[in-house]
């Protein structure tokens, strides 16, 4: 059934689209000074003695930094861990794609950094829409992460005296980002992978590759297992445990074109959401300013150029619209280094949301460069003159090589061309201070949860959160939960397990039986176009209402006319993608409803109706200083909005300024 939506300006609260539920709160963070909360929580948390750990089972879905670090740590502690990933190796997790670095408040540069400053920068960078207690803990734990990774042999860059080197990232005025050339994510993942494989060899972790989670089993009010599909044979398997951890990454591929790996999806999170896990702030998505521009309609993904390049590269466009001269022929007086001009305190290192919108504005003015005018220059000429080519190559060489291979242009001789692209999702499943979702026994870590970044993530904070959650937070909070276990054993005959398996098989049979005329990718691309157009860098009430209408029509068309070839009992990538796209369609509608109800601009969520005179995001703290936690309202029902009030006791809420 197609539901019509009024696209005229509305003055109501859109109650035809969602219901308002009871407010919620995080009850796990101790009521003490923020600097003492994590130490207090760790001391108050119940422990599990080593002999009892061997009796307790934990399922971890995902083997990126958050999942691999959690599995390795819990396995080392003695728990029975079962790990799942849809890739053919944990080393292929999307964490490997992170390039620029990982933040930590070590203050090696003696330039004014501290745990509190990292906390403050992160809260401010998220436009005051994150939870203070979680962010302060992240800043505290950051200093331990670096020591852990160095001990594992991660080859961080070092300065001349042998100490670890640092560089700056957007939204800060200190150097706190540790890096391994332009492949930091890869090196950190290899460290976590080696720790994971050590536990596999020790027998505490069993890792299942090429398995995709398709349902969570909630028995007697607790998460007790998962239903997975063997992606090679098609076998539907049931696995049980005392607790389940989702470390399944973000949902940026709802936009079709993004910097995410092609396999990144929302299915694990969405299946949990349908079983009762609240989805926090789904509309908070990050547009990264430093991406290679789209080159044609044939593309299926985009390539990110690390934000670290903004340390030494200068961003500019021609001053006059329509100036199509080659960059080398445009003299300095005809160039607009617009970030340096508009934001003199931070220059090219403003946060990602601000840099992205600024690039969009100059391109909308007709001053963009390259095919279609959708690009700005990232120029290293000054850096090469000042530092020498060898120094620039030592810092960014692999990134320059990647750019040259993709574009056929030499960035040492001509400026790179970049344009914003979907990159990261700050939204995710709602969790409390213990990283537990609204489903008892279901924990969520890394990008899959909503907890640390508010409305905008600062660069180099994703790797920090993933490792903080896996190495240092979850082992304490999960132990507190498991101290009450082991819970009563259940098997495949339990009604919850039977129901979950039937839901998976029925869905697969339905996808295979439609036998329509349109490919899965055609639906995904159409959804992506809708999301980018109406729920991308700029959002408006009319556009979001239009998007909801279009998405509902697309859902009807999908289940009527999608073509899924092959069978379940075999390797079937079309079937895999079909299930993921179906979930993306449902998520896309919720994202638009979330963006619609939030009549303010904050971070990556930019409502055109709410901006300052100079085009900056304008928050409305009196109305929207809360986490939007959405409850699934049932098939055909409306989502239910629960609000968690954000109370700031240590940081003053004020309009951001990076000028």
Which residues have a catalytic role annotated?
352
CA dist 446 and 248 (Å) reads 8
CA dist 507 and 491 (Å) reads 22
Per-residue HEC secondary structure of 456-519 comes to CCCCCCHHHHHHHHHHHHHHHHHHHHHCCCCCCCCCCCCHHHHHHHHHHHHHHHHHHHHCCCEC
CA dihedral sign of residues 470, 476, 479, 484: negative
- DSSP string for 340-353: HHH-TTTGGGS-HH
CA dist 281 and 449 (Å) reads 10
Instruction: Tokens for 641, please give them.
Output: 């909005």
Residue 364's H or E segment, with its range, is helix 352-364
Q: How far is CA 255 from CA 25, 355, 520, in A?
A: 31, 20, 14
Residue 44's H or E segment, with its range, is helix 37-44
> CA-based angle 581:584:590, to the nearest 5?
155
Q: How far is CA 318 from CA 332, 525, 557, in A?
A: 9, 32, 44
CA dist 528 and 339 (Å) reads 29
How far, in whole angstroms, is CA 262 from its chain's centroid? 14
CA dist 356 and 307 (Å) reads 12
Phi then psi for residue 285, to 5 deg, are -120, 150
Looking at residue 94, the DSSP 8-state letter turns out to be G
Query: Contact at 8 Å (CB) between 280 and 436?
Result: no
Instruction: Tokens for 659, please give them.
Output: 């000028």
How far, in whole angstroms, is CA 19 from its chain's centroid? 27
- DSSP string for 71-101: HHHHHHHT-EEEEE-SSSSGGGSGGGG--S-
Instruction: Tokens for 599, please give them.
Output: 């009549």
| Rounded (10°) angle between helices 573-597 and 541-561 | 160
Q: How far is CA 31 from CA 35, 350, 435, in A?
A: 11, 34, 17
CA dihedral sign of residues 628, 351, 121, 619: negative
Instruction: Tokens for 531, please give them.
Output: 């999301």
Instruction: Tokens for 62, please give them.
Output: 């995902």
Instruction: Tokens for 291, please give them.
Output: 């991406």
- Strands (DSSP E) contained in 108-258 are 177-178, 205-208, 211-219, 222-230, 236-240, 243-246
């Amino acid at each position: 059934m197609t539901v019509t939506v009024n696209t005229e300006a509305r003055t109501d609260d859109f109650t035809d689209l969602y219901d308002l539920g009871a407010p919620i709160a995080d009850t796990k963070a101790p009521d003490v000074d923020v600097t003492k909360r994590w130490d207090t929580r760790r001391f108050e948390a119940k422990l599990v003695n080593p002999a009892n750990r061997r009796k307790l089972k934990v399922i971890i879905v995902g083997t990126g930094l958050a999942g691999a670090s959690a599995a390795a740590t819990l396995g080392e502690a003695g728990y029975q861990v079962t790990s799942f990933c849809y890739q053919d190796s944990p080393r292929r997790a999307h964490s490997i794609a992170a390039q620029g670095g990982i933040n930590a408040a070590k203050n090696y540069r003696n330039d004014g950094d501290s745990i509190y400053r990292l906390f403050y920068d992160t809260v401010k960078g998220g436009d005051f829409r994150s939870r203070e207690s979680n962010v302060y803990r992240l800043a505290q734990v950051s200093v331990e992460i670096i020591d852990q990774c160095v001990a594992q042999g991660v080859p961080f860059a070092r300065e001349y005296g042998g100490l670890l080197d640092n560089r700056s990232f957007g939204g800060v005025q200190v150097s706190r980002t540790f890096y391994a050339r332009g492949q930091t994510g890869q090196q950190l993942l290899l460290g976590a992978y080696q720790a994971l494989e050590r536990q596999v060899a020790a027998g505490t972790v069993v890792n299942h590759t090429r398995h995709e989670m398709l349902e969570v089993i909630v028995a007697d009010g607790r998460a007790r297992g998962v239903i997975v599909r063997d992606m090679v044979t098609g076998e539907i398997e049931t696995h049980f445990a005392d607790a389940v951890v989702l470390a399944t990454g973000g949902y940026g591929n709802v936009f079709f074109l993004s910097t995410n790996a092609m396999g990144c999806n929302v299915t694990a999170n969405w299946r949990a959401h349908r079983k009762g896990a609240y989805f926090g702030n789904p509309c908070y998505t990050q547009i990264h300013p430093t991406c290679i521009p789209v080159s044609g309609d044939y593309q299926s993904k985009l390539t990110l150029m690390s934000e670290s390049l903004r340390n030494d590269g200068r961003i500019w466009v021609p001053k006059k619209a329509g100036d199509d001269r080659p960059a080398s022929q445009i003299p300095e007086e005809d160039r607009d280094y617009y970030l340096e001009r508009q934001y003199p305190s931070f220059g090219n290192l403003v946060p990602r949301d601000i840099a992205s919108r600024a690039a969009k504005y100059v391109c909308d003015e007709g001053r963009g460069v390259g095919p279609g005018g959708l690009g700005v220059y990232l120029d290293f000429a000054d850096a090469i003159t000042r530092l020498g080519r060898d120094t620039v190559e030592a810092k960014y060489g692999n990134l320059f090589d990647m750019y040259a291979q993709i574009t056929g242009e030499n960035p040492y001789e001509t400026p790179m061309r970049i344009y914003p692209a979907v990159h990261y999702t700050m939204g995710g499943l709602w969790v409390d201070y213990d990283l537990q979702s609204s489903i008892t026994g279901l924990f969520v870590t890394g990008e899959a949860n909503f907890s640390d970044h508010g409305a905008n993530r600062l660069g180099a904070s994703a790797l920090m959160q993933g490792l903080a959650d896996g190495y240092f937070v979850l082992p304490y909070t999960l132990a507190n939960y498991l101290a009450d276990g082991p819970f009563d054993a259940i098997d495949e005959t339990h009604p919850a397990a039977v129901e979950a398996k039937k839901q998976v098989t029925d869905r697969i049979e339905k996808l295979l039986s439609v036998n329509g005329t349109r490919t899965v990718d055609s639906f995904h691309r159409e959804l992506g176009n809708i999301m980018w157009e109406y729920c991308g860098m700029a959002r408006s009430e009319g556009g979001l209402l239009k998007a909801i209408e279009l998405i509902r029509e697309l859902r009807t068309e999908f289940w009527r006319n999608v073509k899924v070839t092959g069978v379940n009992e075999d390797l079937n990538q079309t079937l895999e993608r079909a299930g993921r796209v179906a979930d993306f369609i449902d998520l896309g509608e919720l994202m638009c409803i979330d963006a619609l109800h939030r009549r303010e601009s904050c971070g990556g969520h930019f409502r055109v109706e709410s901006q300052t005179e100079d085009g900056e995001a304008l928050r409305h703290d009196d109305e929207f200083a809360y986490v939007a936690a959405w409850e699934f309202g049932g098939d055909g029902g409306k989502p239910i909005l629960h609000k968690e009030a954000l109370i700031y006791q240590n940081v003053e809420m004020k309009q951001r300024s990076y000028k």
